[in-house]
Amino acid sequence: MASVEWRSIPTVLYPQEILDKAFGRASNQADLVEDPDKYHRVRKQMNRMVQSASDVITKTLNSYVGRWPSLNALTEFDRALVDAAVGCDEYRKNLGALQWAAEQTQRIAGEAQRKILRLRDIDGFHKARRHAYGRISSIIGQISPQILWLGEARDILRKLPSIDPLEPCIVVAGSPNVGKSALISALSSGEPQVASYPFTTKQLHLGHFVHRRRAYQMVDTPGLLDRPMIERNPIEMQAIAALEHLGDALVFLVDRSKGSNTPVSEQQNLLAEVRELISERPIIVVSSKSDLLDSTVEGNGSRISAETGEGLEELRMDLIEIIAADEILDPLSLPENWPRDDEPLGSVGRSDASRQT
Ligand SMILES: Nc1nc2c(ncn2[C@@H]2O[C@H](COP(=O)(O)OP(=O)(O)OP(=O)(O)O)[C@@H](O)[C@H]2O)c(=O)[nH]1
Ligand SMILES: [Mg+2]
Q: Domains plus CATH for the chain? A: 6-157 (1.20.120.1190), 169-327 (3.40.50.300)
Q: What residue ranges line ligand 1, CB within 6 angstroms?
A: 174, 176-182, 202, 220, 222, 226, 288-289, 291-292, 305-307
SS3 for 29?
helix
CA distance 163 to 157: 13
Which atom of ligand 1 lies closest to the CA of 226? 25
Q: Is the pTM of this model over 0.95?
A: no
What is residue 248's DSSP assignment?
S
pLDDT at 291 > cutoff 90: yes
pLDDT at 356 > cutoff 70: no
Q: How far is the CA of 177 from the centre of ligand 1 (A)?
A: 5
Q: From the CA atom positions of the chain, what is the Rg in Å?
A: 29
Which helix (H) or strand (E) segment is 243 a member of?
Answer: helix 234-246
For ligand 2, a single-atom ion, the residues with CB < 5 A are 180-181, 222
- Ligand found nearest the CA of 174: 1
H-assigned helices in 119-212: 122-142, 144-157, 180-187
Nearest residue (CA) to ligand 1, atom 6: 179
CA distance 170 to 271: 16
Please give the pLDDT value at position 336.
Answer: 60
Q: How far is the CA of 271 from the centre of ligand 2 (A)?
A: 17
Q: What is the pLDDT of residues 53-75, one digit of tens each?
A: 999 999 999 999 999 999 999 98
Q: What percent of the chain shows pLDDT beyond 90?
A: 68
For residue 202, name the pLDDT band (cuts at 50, 70, 90): confident
Farthest-apart Cα atoms in the chain, separation: 99
For residue 350, name the pLDDT band (cuts at 50, 70, 90): very low
Which atom of ligand 1 lies closest to the CA of 178? 19
